[in-house]
Amino acid sequence: MNPALLVLEDGTQWRGVTFGAQGTRAAEVVFNTSLTGYEEVLTDPSYYGQIVVMTAAHIGNTGINRADMESARAWLSGFAVREASPLYSNWRAEQSLDAFLRAQNIVAIADLDTRGLVRHLRSRGVMRGVISSEIFDATRLQQLALESPDMNGADLVRYVTCDEPYHWDEAADAQWYEYAPTTGGGRFAKNRLETAGGATPFHVVAYDYGIKHNILRQLTSRSCRVTVVPAQMPASEVLALKPDGIFLSNGPGDPAAVTYAVANIRALLGKKPIFGICLGHQILGLALGGETYKLKFGHRGINQPVKNLLTNQVEISTHNHGFAVRADSLPPNVEITAINLNDDCVEGLRVPALNVLAAQFHPESAGGTHDALGLFDQFISMMAHGG
Active site residues: 278, 362, 364
Q: Distance between CA atoms of 145 and 117, rounded to whole angstroms?
A: 16
Q: Is the separation of the CB atoms in 88 and 62 below 8 Å?
A: yes
Q: Give the contacts of 385 (CB within 8 A, at least 6 positions apart).
A: none
Q: Is the separation of the CB atoms in 30 and 52 below 8 Å?
A: yes
The closest alpha carbon to 362, from 223, 218, 197, belongs to 218
Instruction: Give all strands of the β-sheet with 245-248 in edge-to-edge order.
Output: 166-168, 225-230, 203-208, 245-248, 274-277, 356-359, 346-351, 335-340, 292-308, 313-325
Q: How are beta strands 166-168 and 13-20 bridged, if at all? A: unpaired
Q: Give the contacts of 221 (CB within 8 A, at least 6 positions apart).
A: 171, 172, 174, 188, 189, 192, 193
* Count of helix runs (H) and strand runs (E) in the chain: 10, 19
Q: Is 97 helix (H, G, I), strand (E, B) or coil?
A: helix
Q: Distance between CA atoms of 69 and 56, rounded to whole angstroms?
A: 19
Q: Distance between CA atoms of 357 and 325, rounded to whole angstroms?
A: 14
Q: Is the separation of the CB atoms in 244 and 273 below 8 Å?
A: yes
**C-alpha dihedral (9, 14, 16, 19), degrees to nearest 10:** -30
Q: Give the contacts of 191 (CB within 8 A, at least 6 positions apart).
A: 174
Q: Distance between CA atoms of 205 and 236, rounded to whole angstroms?
A: 12
CB burial of 335-361 (b: ≥16 within 10 Å; e: otherwise) equals: eebbbbeeeebbbbbbbeebbbbbbbb
Give the total residue count for the chain: 387
Q: Distance between CA atoms of 366 and 220, rounded to whole angstroms?
A: 16
